[in-house]
Amino acid sequence: SASQAFPRVWGSSAWKGADGPHRFHSNPLHYIRNHESWVGQFSRVWKDFEYVRGLIMSGWSRYDHLAILAETFPAGVPAFAMSMETMMEGIAMNGRFSSTNVALPCAPSIENGGYMHGCGF
């Protein structure tokens, strides 16, 4: 079994830049769904391994080496905050990101493609 060969495991996810070569804006719903999937996976299989070390989250600058820059860091900050809150809570947030709403004076949305505007940081 995989747990015998790899007793200690990590997961990997992204909070920006990893959802296509032509992305010019943040798409937080894409990332949030992936994080929620990792939360579910960890909660199902954690006892099969000696350690589930954690989740590595990256913010890609480019989709690949030939692509233009992905969304910039400031454009991705709300998605980063929602991603962190999802992983720290360890549950599906269902669009309610209370810590993100406090940290950034705005209400990030995962509706309508997840477009966010008016956030201050």
Contacts of 87 (CB under 8 A, 6+ apart): 35, 38, 39, 55, 57
User: What integer pLDDT is reported at residue 107 of this predicted model?
Assistant: 66
Long-range contacts of range 101-104, CB-CB < 8 Å, 24 or more positions apart? 104/77, 104/78
More confident: 43 or 111: 43
pLDDT exceeds cutoff 60 at 115:
no
Q: What's the mean per-residue pLDDT of the chain?
A: 82
- What residue segments make up the domains of the chain, in order of their start? 2-60+70-114
Give the whole-angstrom CA distance, residue 16 versus residue 89.
Answer: 20
Question: Which amino acid does the sequence have at 109?
Answer: S
| pLDDT tens figures, 42-68 | 888 888 888 888 889 998 888 888 888
- Of 63 and 13, which is predicted with more confidence? 13
pLDDT for the residue numbered 111:
61
- Spatial separation of the C-alpha atoms in residues 97 and 86, rounded to whole Å: 8
What distance in Å separates the CA atoms of residue 78 and residue 108, rounded to the nearest whole number? 7
What share of the chain in percent tops pLDDT 90? 7
